[in-house]
Every structure is written in C-alpha cells, then in structure tokens.
C-alpha cells in the first residue's frame, strides 16, 4: 500500500470523497474533541468526523485548514469500489 501525496487531481478527489461516504469501507476520520499534540490523539476524545478530500489535502471542514496531505493509493483510483455495494444515494460514484 503506497501513499499518494497531495495535490490530488479532481478525479482523485472524487474517488476519495466517494470512498469516505461509501459506507462499506473505513473512512479517514478526525476527532472533534481534544487532541494531544499534532495529529496524535491517544485518548480518542470526542466524536469522529469523516475527513473531506480537497485538491490540497484532507480537511475536517470544507472551509478549514488542511490536516493531512497523504492518502493510500487504492483510495484515490476507484479500485476500492465494489459496485454491487454502492449506496444509490451517494453522489459522484462512477
């Protein structure tokens, strides 16, 4: 599993955001509560929030700062997708 660094293409962002909302894979998340140091949360404080992919990287809120600039290769190339499991209400699915 290789890492792919941002910036990402529009198609990669579409794949990442579809992955995040697919419902049958584990999405990248962030804690809404307290954080111990940069990117480290050993206590799992607060509820989990799915990250949102942008061309520049992952954000917690579409108007917020980038919190992560990498993803796994399979997440951004649609190879993760299992069409028979797709949620018909999910937008941007191929």
Model confidence pLDDT, tens digit, residues 72-81: 999 999 999 9
Report if residue 37 sits inside a domain: no
**C-alpha–C-alpha distance, residues 18 and 36, integer Å:** 30
Residue 58 lies in a domain: no
Q: From CA 85, how far away is CA 40, in angstroms rounded?
A: 33
- Count up the domains in the chain and report the number: 1
The boundaries of the domain holding residue 10 are: 1-32+46-51
Q: Which residues pair with 54 in a beta bridge?
A: 57
Residue 38 has pLDDT above 60, yes or no: no
pTM of the full structure: 0.78
Burial classification of residue 67, based on how many CB atoms lie within 10 Å of its CB (0-12 exposed, 13-18 middle, 19 or more buried): middle
């Amino acid at each position: 599993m290789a890492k792919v660094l941002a910036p990402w293409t529009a198609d990669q962002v579409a794949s990442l955001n579809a992955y995040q909302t697919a419902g049958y894979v584990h999405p990248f998340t962030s804690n809404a509560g307290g954080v111990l140091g940069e990117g480290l949360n050993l206590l799992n404080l607060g509820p989990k929030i799915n990250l949102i992919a942008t061309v520049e990287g992952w954000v917690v809120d579409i108007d917020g700062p980038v919190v992560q600039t990498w993803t796994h290769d399979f997440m951004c190339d649609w190879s993760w997708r299992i069409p028979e499991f797709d949620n018909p209400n999910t937008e941007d699915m191929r």
